[in-house]
Amino acid sequence: MSERQRWEGRQRRIGLTGGIASGKSSVGHFLEQQGIAVLDADLYAHEALAPGTPATRAVLERYGVKVQSELSEGLDRAALGSIVFNDPQERTWLESQLHPLVRQRFDQELQTHVGESVVALMIPLLFETGLESLCSEVWVVYCSPTQQRQRLITRNQLSLEEAEQRIRAQWPTDRKIELADSVIENRGFPQSWTSQVRELLYAPPQLD
């Protein structure tokens, strides 16, 4: 546990992470149904790239018409995705634009929810970006690599190569598991983790 940086305030702040398409949103949705505010990094990154924002202007300046939507004033997010997942340097550049904005949004939202006893922070790149320091505990959602690939291909309508690029852009799940406080098993049927999550919520293990 010595390497684990955690937030040590009074509020319980559950960091929810795991590989892409491992089942984070499904677990997040369940937490919302339990009345817990779920702060969503993907939503904040999506908002940062809305039409007319500084980050959108920076993206348009860098990539030009290739990433301009033909249908709206905004970005062609699929075109942007294909640039950054094909080139790690470009992904790093985009992440450097977005991560400070996402972090700012978390700080704002945590202020808004400061009176609640529990909040959840759903952050795909939680360890990659060092945001475990915002969380009092971290849960990693896990399924097998084959399930992950297949669920990603089906949900996002990607080719096998595109799915693998997106999976490779994140830390391996095993590394995340090593740093987690709890691992949510999502290898079974949908929501088969419900009793495990209830137990973590209502009878949490004592962390070191």
Residues forming contacts to ligand ADP in the complex (CB under 6 A) are: 18, 20-26, 151, 155, 186, 189-190
Nearest one of 179, 166, 103, 169 to 140, comparing CA atoms: 179
Nearer to ligand ADP, 11 or 156 (CB): 156
| Least Cβ distance, residue 107 to ligand ADP (angstroms) | 23
- Compare residues 119 and 184 and give the one whose CB is closer to ligand ADP: 184
Q: Measured from the CB atom, is 165 or 186 closer to ligand ADP? A: 186
Supply the minimum distance, in Å, between the C-beta of residue 193 and ligand ADP.
8
Q: Which of 12, 151 has the CB closer to ligand ADP? A: 151
Smallest separation, CB 60 to ligand ADP (Å): 27
Q: How far apart are CA 106 and CA 26, in angstroms?
A: 20
Q: Which two structure tokens, joined as six digits, stand for 121?
A: 């922070």
Tokens matching residue 116: 């609640």
Could you tell me the smallest distance in angstroms from the CB atom of residue 21 to ligand ADP? 4
Q: Which is nearer to ligand ADP, 56 or 173 (CB)?
A: 173
In the complex, what is the shortest distance from the CB of residue 106 to ligand ADP, in angstroms, rounded to a whole number?
17
Question: Which tokens hold the place of 54?
Answer: 């500084």
Nearest Cα to 37, choosing from 68, 22, 63, 16? 16
Query: Taking the mean position of all CA atoms in its chain, how far away is CA 65?
Result: 28
